[in-house]
């Protein structure tokens, strides 16, 4: 998607603090962090949101989570815990319509959500 900010970041057209990359996903630091460690895990292929997922995407979405597990270990927050969020649509708080998994850690998360 030519007008998608995350596609531009993945292509390297817009700079970002990359923390991980493989053939399926790219992980970047959120520009406006909501926790000491706030990483966004993006599929390299554009998908608008959870609403646009197909069965063929199941392995890819699983890979977002196994990447989160790996990043948690690297950041030293695996044992302490962390929060993974995927906002969907306007009421879900989604502002960038390229699907992404938020990784929030490094401090106790607040409850209740929503
Ligand atoms: P959403 O609200 O869609 O769930 O999350 C979008 C996230 O992307 C927000 O937390 C926002 O701070 C982050 N974000 C928006 N634009 C940029 C950008 O250009 N670079 C980076 N690294 N993060 C961004
Ligand atoms: Zn995109």
For residue 70, CA distances in Å to 30, 64, 103, 112 come to 18, 10, 11, 26
Q: Is the CB of 91 under 6 A from ligand 1?
A: no
* Per-residue pLDDT, 112: 83
pLDDT at 107 over 90: yes
- Cα 76 to averaged position of ligand 2 atoms, centre (Å): 29
Count of alpha carbons within 13 angstroms of residue 17, beta-carbon side:
9
Domain 5-51+58-89 matching CATH 3.40.50.10950: the answer reads no
| Domains in the chain: boundaries | 5-51+58-89
* Per-residue pLDDT, 26: 98
pTM of the model: 0.97
Active-site residue set: 100
Measured from the Cα of 38, ligand 1's closest atom is 10
Tokens of 1: 């998607």
- Do the strands 82-85 and 25-29 form a parallel or antiparallel pair, or are they unpaired? unpaired
Q: Give per-residue pLDDT as tens, 29-70.
A: 999 999 999 999 999 999 999 999 999 999 999 999 999 999
What's the whole-number average pLDDT of the chain?
96
Q: Is the CB of 96 under 6 A from ligand 1?
A: yes
């Amino acid at each position: 998607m030519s007008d998608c900010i995350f596609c531009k970041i993945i292509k390297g057209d817009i700079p970002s603090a990359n923390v991980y990359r493989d053939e399926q996903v790219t992980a970047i630091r959120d520009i406006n962090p909501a926790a000491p460690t706030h990483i966004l895990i993006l599929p390299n292929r554009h998908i608008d949101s959870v609403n646009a997922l197909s069965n063929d995407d199941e392995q890819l979405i699983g890979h977002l989570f196994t990447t989160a597990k790996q990043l948690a270990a690297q950041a030293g927050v695996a044992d302490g815990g962390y929060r993974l969020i995927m906002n969907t649509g306007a009421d879900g708080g989604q502002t960038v319509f390229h699907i992404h998994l938020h990784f929030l850690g490094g401090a106790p998360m607040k409850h209740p959500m929503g």
